[in-house]
Chain A
């Protein structure tokens, strides 16, 4: 018998790393970007490279992806309850937010689902509040 945990665990190589401008020692690795059914799923791992625990607060409403070529941006998708389709969520404030402590030397992951840009750009910029943007990220659609 093979037991598999519910859900899908993503992990993989780092596509791009950016520093945080808000939390000392926090670095963000973009570890996944998948397109399916015109939905872009972004996976980011936050790493605390500093010596102190950091309380990281990311409002999902302040995150977006940007199609710079066509000058459009797209915010995370929301479910019928008005919550962003993203996680983990510490609470439901303002559509849900990530507000967790990241201890020194530890990591925490987060994921967000966005609409795929309509104009089919080759690259996008991914902006998460408090983290420098991930720029020129190639889009590879797997429909």
Chain B
């Protein structure tokens, strides 16, 4: 039996059928009977066509709600931009130490401020009751020195939030972990230096607790 004919017919039929997936990608399919139903529905509504009166107060409330929604979008965008992890209880943000600070310094670099503003926006939006700022270094240098440097860097970040974003200092807790909590190997398996790993380890982690 030649099965080619029914197969060709099937392909032709399927080409012209308005599959839902076609509607999803190519356009919007409105059933032909919808407009007639709409005409009948409109007639049933009478002269006013179901209009609901709104007043200026409602309009102003819409304005306020829109403002809140805009803020919500801005926060979501900031979370996305920062690559933050969000759970029900908190938001975790990891900032590169190389972006925040110059080598061996604890002063915030001016071009890191845009990033910190985004973090501050999230803290403010969530009215966070507690923010934990933890500094980390790589393994270069003395352990005690690294611990001190990481602590100073965490405090610099807290100071920036306090001075520039009006976030209360008492909700922010700082910790200096130094080189004790690496997230990547500081050296390769043969003992040689791993600059990429060390770069990842130089960081500040910020945990924003939600209410």
**Which residues of A are in contact with B by a Cβ distance under 8 Å?**
3-11, 19, 21, 24, 31-32, 36-39, 41, 43, 45, 50, 66-68, 71-75, 77-80, 85, 87-88, 106-111, 113, 115-118, 132-133
| A75 contacts B52, C-beta separation under 8 Å | yes
A contact residues around B20 at 8 Å (CB): 88
- B25 CB, nearest partner CB in chain A, Å: 6
| B30 contacts A10, C-beta separation under 8 Å | yes
B contact residues around A111 at 8 Å (CB): 28, 30
| A5 contacts B38, C-beta separation under 8 Å | no
| B37 contacts A109, C-beta separation under 8 Å | no
In the assembled complex, the Cα of A37 lies from the Cα of B17 at a distance in Å of: 29
Which residue of B has the minimal Cβ distance to A45?
B28
| A77 contacts B53, C-beta separation under 8 Å | no
Q: Which of B39-47, B141-149, B168-176 contacts A (4 or more CB under 8 A)?
A: B39-47
- B16 CB, nearest partner CB in chain A, Å: 5
B32 within 8 A of A: yes
- B56 CB, nearest partner CB in chain A, Å: 7
Q: What interface size band does chain B fall in?
A: 35 or more
In the assembled complex, the Cα of A9 lies from the Cα of B26 at a distance in Å of: 8
- Given that A8-B30, A8-B32, A68-B59 are known contacts, is A116 also in contact with B41, CB under 8 Å in the complex? no
B73 within 8 A of A: yes
- A9 CB, nearest partner CB in chain B, Å: 4
The interface centre, meaning the residue of A9, A19, A45 with most chain B CB atoms within 10 A of its CB, is A9
- A112 CB, nearest partner CB in chain B, Å: 10
- Picked from B18, B50, B76, the residue with its CB within 8 Å of the CB of A6 is B18
- B8 CB, nearest partner CB in chain A, Å: 15
- Given that A107-B24, A109-B23 are known contacts, is A87 also in contact with B52, CB under 8 Å in the complex? no
B contact residues around A77 at 8 Å (CB): 37-38, 41-42, 45, 50
A contact residues around B42 at 8 Å (CB): 37-39, 77, 115
B contact residues around A73 at 8 Å (CB): 51-52, 54
In the assembled complex, the Cα of A71 lies from the Cα of B20 at a distance in Å of: 38
B80 within 8 A of A: yes
**Contact code string B34-71 (vs A, CB < 8 Å = 1, else 0):** 11011111100101111111111001001000100110
| A21 contacts B28, C-beta separation under 8 Å | no
15 A-B residue pairs with Cβ-Cβ distance under 8 Å, sorted by A, are A7-B18, A9-B29, A21-B70, A31-B28, A32-B28, A36-B35, A37-B39, A39-B35, A71-B54, A77-B37, A77-B41, A77-B50, A115-B50, A117-B49, A132-B73
B6 within 8 A of A: no
| B51 contacts A118, C-beta separation under 8 Å | yes
| B38 contacts A39, C-beta separation under 8 Å | yes
Q: Contacts A5-B17, A115-B42 known; list 18 others, CB within 8 Å.
A: A21-B70, A41-B35, A45-B28, A71-B55, A71-B59, A73-B51, A74-B50, A75-B50, A75-B52, A77-B41, A79-B37, A88-B20, A107-B25, A109-B27, A111-B30, A115-B49, A118-B51, A132-B73
